[in-house]
Every structure is written in C-alpha cells, then in structure tokens.
Amino acid sequence: MVKYSVVIPVYNEALVIRETYRRLKRVMEQTDGPYELLFVNDGSEDETIEILKELAVKDETVKYVDFSRNFGHQIAITAGMDYASGKAIVIIDADLQDPPELILDMIDKWKEGYDVVYAKRVKRKGETMFKKVTAYLFYRVLRAATEIDIPVDTGDFRLIDRKVRDQLVYMRERSRFVRGLVSWVGFKQTAVEYEREKRFAGETKYPLKKMIRFSLDGITSFSYKPLKLASLLGFFLSASSVLGIIITLYLKLFTHSTVAGWASLFMVTLLCNGIMFMMLGVMGEYIGRIYDEVKQRPLYIVKETWGVGTQYEKVPFYME
Ligand code: UDP
Ligand code: MG
C-alpha cells in the first residue's frame, strides 16, 4: 500500500516523459511515505510506451496502464484514479506545465485536513493569446451555466483524498468533465496558487476541435441551462410573432399601406430558420450524450498494465 499516487496521463509525450519522471521523482523523494508514479498511456503513437517500459523495469515506483487506443485525456485521468492505490492521489499533466514542486504544498494542505487541493492558475506562460482568451471565457461561461461550484482557472492538476476517489469511481458517465465531478462530490476543498509554465517540449494535444468538445461536455454534463435558454428563445419568438401578426393585420385591414416587398419576409424566414436549427443543435448535443450513455460501453479498454492490480480488484462493479 503506497501513501501517494501520482497519476500522469500521457499521449505522445516521448519528448518530455523522461524529464517529467526525473522532476516528479525528485519531488516525491522529499515526501514522507512510499509513492507510485502511475502513467496512463492514452494510445500514444510515438515511443512513449517503450520509454515507460524502460523506466518501469528500472524503477519499481513506476507503474503504467496502457490503453488499447486513444480514449482522451479525461478518460485517462479516470483510469488513473481507478488504478491508483495511494491514500492521496495527485493528478498532473505530463508536459511540466504543472510544476511538480507544487505537490509538496498540496500534501501540506492535505495534512491540514483538506480532501481536495486544486491548483489555481494565476498566470499562464507560453500559451497563445487565443488559448488564454478561450480558456478565460470557458471558465466563466461554465461557472455561469452550471449550478455547482466549479472554481475558475483550475485544471485537473489537483490532489484528492482516497475517500473522494472512492466516490468518483462510482461515476461512470461517459462525457466526462473530471474537475466538475470532483467539485460535485463536495468534501473539504481548497486551492493553492501557481503560475502555469509553458510546455517543456512537444505540442499541445488539445487542438481547437478537442477544446470545443471538452467545453460542451463540461457544460452539458452539469447544466440544462442551454435547453432552458432554447425554450425561452422559443417563447420570445412566439410572442413577437403574435405581435407581428396583429400589426400586419391592422395595416392590411385598416390602412392602405400594405407591408412592402419580400425583403422583410426573407429576413424573418432566415432568422427563424437559423434559430430553429440552433435549438435543434442544442437538443442534439444532449440527445447524443444520452445515446452514448445508454450504450453502457466500458469507459476504456486496457491493453496491458504494469505494477497495478486488475481492473476488477480496483473497481469492483466494473464487470456489471
Ligand atoms: N492527454 C491525453 N490524451 C489526450 C490528450 C492529452 O492523455 O487525448 C494528456 C497529455 O499527454 C498531457 C495532458 O493530457 O499530459 C494535457 O494535455 P496538453 O498538455 O496537450 O493540454 P494543454 O495543456 O495544451 O491544455
Ligand atoms: Mg499542457
């Protein structure tokens, strides 16, 4: 039984993984208990897994779970939490944007009695203006859209107590937004602040497409507000069309100025159709997720593990 588990999702991180290992190792050696470095290889196409194997053979604190293909960052974190056996579990990105040294501060907070210690970014270095702006907006929109209290500017870099993990493993929903789930379970939570470094090497694995998907997952899995907004918009449009009909009838019946031309008709048709399709899209986002959910497929498929127990031991209801 280890005291600390560090969960590191990796996807094509061959360029950084050795350095990440070195830095993590240095930090974890300063802690007061046995630890494990649990890498989750999310279907990397480069030499990531070979490097992991090499490290694992040399160092028994290195363990890994190797996926059968790429399942995505949030799923990789989930698997990490499933397999982690520590009393405190730290989730950290592999690219050293999250400074490993902060783990020591998190552990201090944990010892003070906090169950979740999340890292709050006060500054982001070496990221594009676009990423900064979209990230800023994303956290604010999410906060406005959802009822639960998801702290702004925090990623998945955090420490969670075993009892939080033991609750999280019961939440097998597919469109996963792990930081939301962690807020949702509650317990005593606090923050430590840090400056987000730039990536040590390699490129971001979150291109725009994945970022959008991720944001939609975040909002749809914690809020119906988009649906409510759609119906509100519907009511508003219906009300204004009644008004429009009354005005048109009045003009037609009691005055000589008939409403002119096709331009107005054309605009109304375009606008209404646009709004209608948008609402259908919003509904589609939810329906698609319901569809994913009812299929009840496993969240991920493991090809191979090293140093960890079987899936069944770790998540007892997994086979159900
Ligand atoms: N990652 C993953 N699967 C993916 C995409 C990313 O496991 O499909 C990992 C990646 O290796 C890294 C972490 O998730 O450790 C965060 O990814 P990245 O640094 O590319 O995201 P960014 O910091 O640019 O948001
Ligand atoms: Mg990164």
Q: What atom of ligand 1 comes closest to residue 97's alpha carbon?
A: 23
Distance (Å) from CA 94 to ligand 1 centroid = 7
Q: What is the chain's alpha carbon radius of gyration, rounded to the nearest angstrom?
A: 25
Nearest C-alpha to atom 22 of ligand 1 is from which residue?
204
Residue 151: the pLDDT is 79
Residue 110: the pLDDT is 94
**CA distances from residue 141 to 31, 52, 137, 152, 225 in whole angstroms, order as listed:** 38, 38, 6, 10, 11
H or E element in which residue 56 lies: helix 48-58
Cβ of residue 204 lying under 6 Å from some atom of ligand 1: yes
For residue 302, what are the contacts with CB-CB under 8 A and spacing of at least 6? 65, 66, 67, 68, 79, 311
For residue 213, what are the contacts with CB-CB under 8 A and spacing of at least 6? none
In one letter, which amino acid is 289? R
Q: How far apart are CA 12 and CA 204, in angstroms?
A: 10
Which ligand has the shortest distance to the CA of 79?
1
Nearest C-alpha to atom 2 of ligand 1 is from which residue?
73
Distance (Å) from CA 8 to ligand 1 centroid = 10
Q: What atom of ligand 1 comes closest to residue 199's alpha carbon?
A: 19
Distance (Å) from CA 199 to ligand 2 centroid = 6
Looking at the chain, the number of H-run helices and the number of E-run strands are: 11, 8
Cβ of residue 93 lying under 6 Å from some atom of ligand 1: yes
Nearest C-alpha to atom 13 of ligand 1 is from which residue?
93
Residue 78: the pLDDT is 93
Q: How many residues are present in the chain?
A: 320
Closest CA to 158 of 94, 91, 96: 91
Cβ of residue 130 lying under 6 Å from some atom of ligand 1: no
Residue 312: the pLDDT is 61
Cβ of residue 95 lying under 6 Å from some atom of ligand 1: yes
Q: Parse the chain into domains and list their residue ranges.
A: 4-223+298-313, 225-295
Domain 4-223+298-313 -> CATH class: alpha beta
Cβ of residue 174 lying under 6 Å from some atom of ligand 1: no
DSSP secondary structure of 149-173 = -PPTTEEEEEEEEHHHHHHHTT---
**CA distances from residue 109 to 6, 105, 114, 183 in whole angstroms, order as listed:** 16, 6, 6, 17
Cβ of residue 273 lying under 6 Å from some atom of ligand 1: no
Mutate to test the pocket of ligand 1, among 21, 70, 73 (most ligand atoms within 8 A of CB): 73
Contacts of residues 17-24 at CB distance under 8 Å and 24 or more positions apart, as own/partner, are 17/48, 17/51, 17/52, 17/55, 17/94, 18/51, 18/55, 19/96, 19/200, 19/201, 20/94, 20/95, 20/96, 20/100, 20/200, 21/55, 21/62, 23/96, 23/100, 23/101, 24/92, 24/100
For the entire predicted model, the pTM comes to 0.81
Which ligand has the shortest distance to the CA of 78?
1
Which ligand has the shortest distance to the CA of 71?
1
For residue 143, what are the contacts with CB-CB under 8 A and spacing of at least 6? 150, 152
Helix %, strand %, coil % of the chain (to 5): 50, 15, 35
Which ligand has the shortest distance to the CA of 127?
1
DSSP strand E in 31-184: where?
35-41, 62-67, 88-91, 116-124, 154-161
Residue 65: the pLDDT is 94
Burial 228-255 (b: 16+ CB within 10 A, else e): eebeeeeeebeeeeeeeeeeeeeeeeee
- Distance of alpha carbon 309 from the chain centroid: 26
Cβ of residue 94 lying under 6 Å from some atom of ligand 1: yes
SS3 280: helix
Cβ of residue 13 lying under 6 Å from some atom of ligand 1: yes
Q: How far apart are CA 85 and CA 182, in angstroms?
A: 18
pLDDT per residue rounded down to tens, the chain (320 residues): 888 999 999 999 999 999 999 999 999 999 998 999 999 999 999 999 999 999 999 999 999 999 999 999 999 999 999 999 999 999 999 988 888 999 999 999 999 999 999 888 877 777 778 878 888 888 888 788 877 777 777 788 999 999 999 888 888 888 888 888 888 888 888 888 888 777 777 777 777 788 788 878 878 888 888 888 888 988 888 898 889 888 888 888 888 776 667 777 888 888 888 888 888 888 888 998 899 889 888 889 888 888 887 666 666 555 44
In one letter, which amino acid is 167? Q
Q: For residue 71, what are its two tokens?
A: 């399942």
